[in-house]
Amino acid sequence: MYILLFIVVILLGTMAYAGYSAAPWVPTRARDVKRILQMADIRAGEKVVDVGCGDGRLVVAAARDCGAYGVGVDIGIPQYIHAQIMRMRQDAAVRGRTRIVWGDLFQYNLCDADVVVVYLLSKSYDRLVKKFEKELKPGARVVVEAWPVSVWEPTKVDKGSKQDVPLYLYKR
């Protein structure tokens, strides 16, 4: 009984920590996933990293629909497990091009990423901008959902319809 309680506390604890660290788990809607892939113009073989990947839907979609290598990083254990299950349900080719990492997104090195997807609270942007400016290679693209990065000039803005989440594309 105590072991079960301990496990539940750990699972919920990592979710709570994620909410405090950069953002709680709020999945991107399927139609917005498509808009993100289009906006980033992802090509086969590119490495796409979703920092705070939730259930891994963007990672899987980038690999399945664009032929990219998708990596998702999440610190929430329930999100990590969910993303792994989502990944395991894909065919072998897509599984081979996807990876889900359990850990802190601020510790994941982005030096070989071609595209980074961000759906996090703007309170995390100061740390993210420092990290991106240090690690991202020239030409890397960053797609940010919901809130723009005030210190960068977007290359493209897609506000979509009233129900859509605004998207911002930045180029390094």
Q: Which residues bind ligand SAM (CB under 6 A)?
A: 18, 21-23, 25-28, 50, 52-54, 57-58, 73-76, 79, 104-106, 119-120
The answer to whether residues 140 and 172 touch, using CB atoms and an 8 Å cutoff, is yes
Determine how many CB atoms are found less than 10 A away from the CB of residue 103: 11
State the nearest-atom distance from the C-beta of 95 to ligand SAM, in Å: 19
State the nearest-atom distance from the C-beta of 14 to ligand SAM, in Å: 8
Q: Which is nearer to ligand SAM, 52 or 70 (CB)?
A: 52
As a dihedral over the C-alpha atoms of residue 145, residue 107, residue 63, residue 144, rounded to 10 degrees, the angle is 10
State the nearest-atom distance from the C-beta of 171 to ligand SAM, in Å: 20
State the nearest-atom distance from the C-beta of 146 to ligand SAM, in Å: 8
Residues in Cβ contact with 68 at an 8 Å cutoff, skipping those fewer than 6 apart: 42, 43, 44, 45, 46, 47, 48, 62, 97, 114, 115
Q: Which is nearer to ligand SAM, 106 or 152 (CB)?
A: 106
